[in-house]
């Protein structure tokens, strides 16, 4: 698939002031505020190297309001400092006077990292680019730059100001990592080798549940295995009751549960949900069958061992396997096995295998076998949306910006 956007090679970048949107949000240790996996920081390095002769200002996010890992980007800037040869500075501000001053002082060959862009409440809204171009974030910062570069493929499904607002008002280019990801994933858009299995897990049910409909409707997957909170949503849609620890958030998840219910009616046993769980009960892991989960007192933190075996077997019999999102809270000791076993099954299979998402790809790299997959994407939700045939708002914004830029050049 060809994308009609401009790239870095279309612009003179020497000495230019460049706003570089990166996706470097990473799994964090909530107690120490330390980054647990530096894959996304390392993935950003080639793009920063390509911009070595420019004045680079990095805009990025970490998590979102209300989450435990919604923190400053200071640790991300420190890690960038340790992997880049250029000087890296951090400013504890996004669009206020300190940020503006630091941006104006950024010299050729330097990198400035702004603080978490989601500290600005405007960035948490999703809307059309034309509207988001009028936010304070875009209108205050855009005049300070010559070029906007979007290299945040993992956020390309987010129609937020930092993704779709700036391309409305600045010459804009796709970054090298975004371009490389689209190139690799485009190859997956043809007919998959069959049987084709998709695995969806993790906590982001609003992203993951709706995408499954397209994946099954277009025949991208013959079957979809669901774990993590995504699995719980499908079980709930099938009438399963959980205990208090999950009932509270499931009560608020009416929309994804309704969607899951209609998919179960349409696709039946092409969607496979967990049959048991690993729970944290009295300080240790217990295996509990799904039918007994409502009565159990522990927190459900992983798929159970029977489910892991069943999922691993399905993966072993597949010719294409695409996975995004962990099966449980693998960061917590005793609850890594569901996610580890599906990654091991994929890593040792002969199938065409793709994993994505900061957490799943990060865990594969912590386990030391990230190189045993056909492709490891920095993106989870964005990758799945793209494979499901959806148009990603950030890509559409870059294409629109390129048309606008060409027209202006033609007219002048
Ligand atoms: C991701 O990690 O999937 C992207 O950075 C998007 O993050 P978000 O789901 O918090 O918007
Ligand atoms: Mg993320």
**Which atom of ligand 1 has the smallest separation from the CA of 357?**
3
On average, the pLDDT of the chain sits at: 96
Among 67, 154, 164, which is best to mutate for testing ligand 1, by the most ligand atoms less than 8 A from CB?
A: 154
CA of 79 to the centre of ligand 1 (A): 19
Question: Whole-angstrom Cα distance, residue 321 to residue 76?
Answer: 31
Evaluate if residue 368 carries a pLDDT over 80: yes
The mean pLDDT of 237-265, rounded to a whole number, is 96
Q: Which two tokens stand for residue 398?
A: 């870059």
Q: What is the pLDDT of residues 27-65, one digit of tens each?
A: 888 889 899 889 999 999 999 999 999 999 999 999 999
CA of 221 to the centre of ligand 2 (A): 24
Task: Tell me the β-bridge partners of 35.
Answer: 28
The mean pLDDT of 307-328, rounded to a whole number, is 97
Q: Which residues line ligand 1 (CB under 6 A)?
A: 23, 25, 63-64, 154-155, 158, 204, 358, 380-381
Specify the higher pLDDT residue, 31 or 325.
325
Question: Whole-angstrom Cα distance, residue 13 to residue 55?
Answer: 9
Asked if residues 162 and 59 have their Cβ atoms less than 8 Å apart, the reply is yes
Question: Which one-letter DSSP state was computed for residue 292?
Answer: G
Among 27, 37, 58, 61, which is best to mutate for testing ligand 1, by the most ligand atoms less than 8 A from CB?
A: 61
Question: Whole-angstrom Cα distance, residue 175 to residue 47?
Answer: 7
Among 25, 116, 361, 385, which is best to mutate for testing ligand 1, by the most ligand atoms less than 8 A from CB?
A: 25
Residues near ligand 2 ion, CB 5 Å cutoff: 25, 358
Strands laid side by side in the 276-281 sheet = 284-289, 276-281, 299-303
The DSSP result for 52-84, as a single string, is TTSEEEEE---S-TTSTT---SHHHHHHHHHH-
Question: Whole-angstrom Cα distance, residue 60 to residue 316?
Answer: 37
CA of 34 to the centre of ligand 2 (A): 15
Asked if residues 59 and 387 have their Cβ atoms less than 8 Å apart, the reply is no
Identify the CA nearest to 131 among candidates 122, 121, 140.
Answer: 122
pLDDT at site 288: 97
Question: Which one-letter DSSP state was computed for residue 406?
Answer: H
Query: Which residue's CA is minimally distant from atom 1 of ligand 1?
Result: 154
Interior/surface letters 182-204, b for 16+ CB within 10 angstroms, e for the rest: beebeebeeebeeebbbbbbbbb
Evaluate if residue 86 carries a pLDDT over 90: yes
Q: How confident is the model at residue 75 (pLDDT cuts 50, 70, 90)?
A: very high
Q: What is the pLDDT of residues 117-148, one digit of tens each?
A: 999 999 999 999 999 999 999 999 999 999 99
Q: Which two tokens stand for residue 369?
A: 């076998």
Evaluate if residue 313 carries a pLDDT over 90: yes
Evaluate if residue 266 carries a pLDDT over 90: yes
Question: Whole-angstrom Cα distance, residue 136 to residue 294?
Answer: 47
**How far, CA to CA in Å, does 87 sit from each of 78, 82, 102, 189, 323?**
11, 10, 14, 40, 37
Identify the CA nearest to 149 among candidates 7, 4, 3.
Answer: 7
The mean pLDDT of 259-266, rounded to a whole number, is 98
Evaluate if residue 187 carries a pLDDT over 80: no
CB under 8 Å to 75, separation ≥6 — which residues? 28, 33, 34, 35
Residue holding tokens 């693998």? 330
For β-strands 276-281 and 284-289, DSSP reports them as antiparallel
Evaluate if residue 250 carries a pLDDT over 80: yes
**Which atom of ligand 1 has the smallest separation from the CA of 207?**
9
pLDDT at site 388: 86
């Amino acid at each position: 698939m060809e994308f009609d956007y401009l790239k870095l090679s279309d612009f003179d970048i020497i000495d230019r002031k460049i706003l570089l949107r990166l996706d470097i949000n990473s799994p964090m240790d909530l107690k120490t505020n330390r980054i647990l996996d530096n894959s996304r920081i390392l993935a950003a390095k080639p793009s920063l190297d390509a911009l070595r002769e420019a004045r680079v200002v990095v805009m990025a996010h970490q998590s979102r309001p209300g989450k435990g890992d919604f923190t400053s980007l200071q640790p991300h800037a420190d890690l960038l400092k340790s992997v880049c040869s250029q000087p890296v500075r951090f400013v504890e501000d996004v669009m206020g006077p300190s940020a503006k001053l630091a941006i104006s002082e950024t010299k050729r060959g330097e990198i400035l990292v702004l603080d978490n862009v989601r500290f600005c409440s405007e960035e948490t809204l999703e809307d059309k680019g034309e509207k988001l171009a009028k936010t304070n974030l875009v209108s205050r910062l855009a005049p300070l730059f010559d070029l906007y570069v979007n290299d945040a493929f993992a956020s390309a499904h987010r129609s937020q100001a930092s993704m779709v607002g700036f391309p409305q008002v600045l010459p804009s280019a796709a970054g090298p990592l975004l371009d490389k990801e689209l190139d690799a994933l485009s190859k997956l858009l043809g007919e998959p080798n069959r049987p084709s299995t998709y695995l969806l897990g993790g906590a982001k049910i609003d992203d993951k549940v709706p995408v499954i409909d397209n994946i099954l409707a277009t025949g991208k997957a013959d079957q979809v295995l669901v774990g993590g909170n995504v699995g719980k949503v499908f079980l709930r849609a099938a009438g399963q009751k959980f205990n208090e620890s999950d009932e509270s958030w499931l009560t608020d998840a009416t929309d994804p549960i309704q969607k899951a219910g209609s998919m179960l009616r349409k696709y039946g046993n092409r969607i496979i949900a967990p049959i048991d769980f690993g729970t944290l009960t009295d300080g240790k892991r217990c295996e509990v069958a799904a039918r007994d989960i409502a009565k159990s007192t522990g927190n459900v933190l992983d798929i159970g061992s029977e489910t892991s075996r069943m999922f691993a077997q399905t993966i072993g019999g597949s010719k294409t396997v695409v996975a995004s999102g962990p099966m449980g809270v693998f960061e917590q000791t005793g609850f890594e096995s569901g996610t580890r076993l599906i990654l091991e099954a994929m890593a040792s299979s002969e199938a065409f295998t793709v994993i994505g998402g900061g957490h799943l790809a990060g865990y594969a790299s912590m386990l030391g076998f990230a190189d045993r997959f056909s492709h490891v994407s920095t993106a989870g939700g964005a990758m799945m949306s793209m494979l499901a045939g959806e148009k990603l708002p950030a890509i559409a914004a870059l294409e629109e910006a390129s048309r606008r830029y060409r027209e202006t050049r033609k007219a002048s």
